[in-house]
A and B are shown apart, each in its own frame.
Chain A
Amino acid sequence: MRNRERLTRWLIAGPPWLYLLLLFVAPTLIMVAASFGWPGVEGGLAPLWYRDAQGLHFDLTLDNYINLAATSLYGWLFLKSLVYAVVVTLCCLILAYPLALTIARSPKRWRDALLLLVILPFWSNFLVRIYAWMIILGPQAGLSRLVNGALGWLHMAPVALLFSPFAVLIGLVYVHLPFMILPLYANLEKHDPALLDAARDLGARPWQCFWQITFPLSRPGVIAGAILVFIPALGAFAVPDILGGTRGIMIGNVIKMQFLEARDWPFGSALSIVMTLLVLALTAAAAWAARRAGGRIYA
């Protein structure tokens, strides 16, 4: 009886487990190892070990990490990417909150449709969504002419909206906005409307109702949304690559360059590992914060 259950468990859990082990865990471990390696003669990765008459030798180095730490450029880029991610997260929060609140307070039969409307753009092609902003922010397009016209009227120099940090930020906000709306909505929908009635009954004005009741209760949703936006934004590469030009570079672009252009794979791996650790640390911190927020409020 017991053995049959164990066999069934292996048959069910085994195949996906194996696949993910091979195509997720193994590559990650290899990347960790690669970060201690030397670049190959023609680029890529040099062998990490070799055999000779004396046996097995490992050809490893800490150079990659040392270079990373020593060169302030990379520190700056990590910092810049962090700042971008923070800004994007805040903007997403500000834009998402009213929308999520509106949907959560709308009549029940509208909610599914309203949510679907939020989700649909997310499901459309990622590149298309970024490309659309190339059009909107382009120098020939209306928005750019409007802004530069206004600047000219104020006797200020014209700015390029495209290929700038501004374009990167807008692109990142646009792409990640649904990730903030949905967890927020999921949380806000569960709020008991009687709580707000009670607050108003006891004399709270609408603004106070929001800050004293709604926002604190929504903290777990805010944190969930923040994680879902912050982490991909930190590791973004396509948006800065397409919309950023030279001024909007983020750490993701550098990693890409190491792998595809400079072909210094060990160094690229080291950068990736540092980013992974950063992401893990932030996720852990956010999970801790979420547990505190959730625990205290739903005590």
Chain B
Amino acid sequence: MLKNSSTLRWLSALAVYAFLYLPLLMVILYSFNASRLGTQWTGFTLHWYRVLLQDDEMLRAAYHSLLIATVASAVSTVLGTLAGLALYRYKLRLLPFLIVAPLAIPELLSGVSLLIFFVLINFTLGLASIMLAHIAFCISFVAIVVRSRLAGMDPALVEAARDLGATPWQSFRYITLPLIAPGILAGGLLAFTLSIDDFVITFFTAGVGASTLPLRIYTMIKISVTPEVNAVSTILVLLTLVIVAIASRLAPSALRSGA
């Protein structure tokens, strides 16, 4: 009786895994499809990747995405680590709310409010506005990762350090920091992927001149779907996979707190 129900469970689990992966695998597969229409398989080709590399707009969007992601993840890692430390050490009233709220409300609301905000203060919409917007939600994310990493650390270690003569700064530098460093790094890497993949907030804060990969993909999807989309999608997916794999090595729990 038990055997049967567990087999049933495994089968349904497998079905859900299939549901999760098949769409992505299809996109990846079709990026190599020679056919333009995308439903008939006419042959294996790297043609669409070549087209991609010659698409100036796409390359510009890719450059913007990487630039934004690098800046956003760097700044948010610093600010997010500070926030995570503060959340762990002090009983603050407002900061916990400020950290969780941006992640709890739909991105749409953050996006439009930032749009109004930037326009109202006469801040030109462009790369800078996107960066500022990304940093905001990345801080929350890194803060949560760092805080959970701190919570997992044995508090007796810091006490032992101070007991043995370390000042609070020394115990942070020699004990806390090295122990949470993998978590900080993982948080930063994951913030990088969040920034590269972001669509909704970027959509509202980009203005006219700036373009990122997700925005470009969106335009292509809405206007005319070319198989180029499959190629750029595949690249994005693989890039994300590599970064996430690295991050999961550094701090396995960071991934789960992200979701």
Contacts and interface: CB of A to CB of B under 8 A. Distances in A.
Direct contact of A and B (CB under 8 A): yes
Interface string B64-88: 0000000000000001101101100
B9 A98 contact: yes
B106 A179 contact: no
A31 B116 contact: yes
B133 A30 contact: no
A141 B26 CA distance: 11
Contacts of A256: 108, 112
Given A30-B120, A231-B105, A279-B106, A132 B26 contact: yes
Given A141-B39, A255-B108, A23 B136 contact: yes
Interface size, B (range): 35 or more
A268 B113 CA distance: 10
Contact of A136 (B12, B23, B86, B102): B23
A131 B229 contact: yes
Nearest to A179: B259
Interface in A100-154: 101-103, 105, 112, 115-129, 131-136, 138, 140-142
Nearest to A138: B39
A134 B105 contact: no
A99 B109 contact: no
B241 A120 contact: yes
Given A25-B98, A127-B199, 16 more contacts: A13-B83, A13-B86, A16-B80, A19-B139, A23-B114, A119-B255, A121-B24, A123-B190, A123-B193, A128-B233, A129-B24, A178-B20, A235-B106, A235-B109, A255-B108, A275-B106
Interface of A: 8-9, 12-13, 15-17, 19-21, 23-28, 30-31, 34, 44-45, 95-96, 98-99, 101-103, 105, 112, 115-129, 131-136, 138, 140-142, 174, 177-179, 182, 186, 205-206, 231-232, 234-238, 242, 252, 255-256, 259-260, 265, 268-269, 272, 275-276, 279, 283
Interface of B: 1-2, 5-6, 9-10, 12-13, 16-17, 19-21, 23-24, 26-27, 30, 37-39, 79-80, 82-83, 85-86, 89-90, 92, 94-95, 98-99, 101-102, 104-110, 112-117, 119-120, 132-133, 135-136, 139-140, 143, 168, 190, 193, 196-200, 203-204, 213-214, 217-218, 221-222, 225, 229, 233, 236-237, 240-241, 244, 248, 252, 255-256, 258-259
